[in-house]
């Protein structure tokens, strides 16, 4: 496949994931990723700051969708209902096409402490996006922060269920279920 072929970003991401799975994250170089994708190292750096970012592409889109989902909730929505709007908005990103990639990504991230740290940073940014959107709606502290943290917990729970081997359910219903479970658990705290 030549350098002029379309979808360079996707080709680089797939090549990286394949190599990370085959050889391990630390044993894979940017040059090897570019070569596997049929591109140059320079092209790699047009799309990604480093090889770690290949696994975390799309974070900006997620945070934007979380914010828009909360902002688009009805004016009288409770904080949980607004967070539900955020989960509905991000569900559009988690399609069947992305499932295989997400399943392959999880063990790569889990096997590397640097990537786990980056995953925590991603989580922090998701919480911040939801928190800021809730605060903009006039939700006071600590309610805005608690709702954002619980929304992120529901998102993470749904995501892990979605990528589980053998799962055939779509992300959206899993997110609705996880948010309901979080709401029930919160009420049980007393």
The predicted pLDDT at position 1 comes to 46
What is the mean pLDDT of the segment spanning 8-31?
A: 96
Q: What DSSP designation does 51 have?
A: G
Query: For residue range 29-48, what is the model confidence (pLDDT) as tens digits?
Result: 999 999 999 999 999 999 99
Q: Catalogue all structural domains in the chain, each as residue range(s) with its CATH number.
A: 8-54 (1.10.10.60), 58-187 (1.10.357.10)
pLDDT grade, residue 5 (50/70/90)?
Answer: low
> C-alpha 163: how far from its chain's center?
12
Token representation of residue 62: 């997620």
> C-alpha 74: how far from its chain's center?
25
**54 contacts 17 by C-beta, under 8 angstroms:** yes
pLDDT grade, residue 58 (50/70/90)?
Answer: confident
Query: For residue range 82-91, what is the model confidence (pLDDT) as tens digits?
Result: 999 999 999 9
- Pick from 100, 88, 112, 117: nearest CA to 163: 100
CA atoms lying within 13 Å on the CB side of residue 43: 22
Query: For residue range 116-167, what is the model confidence (pLDDT) as tens digits?
Result: 999 999 999 999 999 999 999 999 999 999 999 999 999 999 999 999 999 9
| CA diameter of the chain | 61
């Amino acid at each position: 496949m030549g350098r002029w072929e379309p979808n360079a970003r996707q080709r680089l991401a797939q090549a990286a994931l394949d190599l990370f799975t085959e050889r391990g994250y630390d044993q894979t170089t940017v040059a090897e990723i570019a070569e596997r994708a049929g591109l140059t190292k320079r092209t790699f750096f047009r799309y990604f700051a480093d090889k770690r970012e290949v696994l975390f592409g799309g974070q900006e889109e997620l945070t934007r969708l979380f914010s828009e989902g909360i902002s688009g909730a009805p004016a009288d929505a409770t904080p949980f209902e607004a967070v539900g709007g955020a989960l509905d908005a991000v569900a559009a990103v988690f399609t069947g096409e992305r499932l295989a990639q997400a399943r392959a990504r999880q063990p790569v991230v889990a096997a590397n402490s640097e990537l786990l740290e980056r995953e925590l940073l991603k989580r922090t940014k998701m919480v911040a996006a939801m928190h800021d959107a809730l605060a903009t709606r006039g939700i006071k502290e600590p309610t805005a922060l608690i709702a954002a943290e619980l929304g992120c917990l529901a998102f993470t729970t749904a995501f892990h269920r979605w990528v589980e081997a053998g799962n055939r359910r779509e992300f959206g219903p899993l997110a609705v279920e996880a948010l309901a479970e979080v709401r029930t658990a919160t009420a049980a705290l007393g």
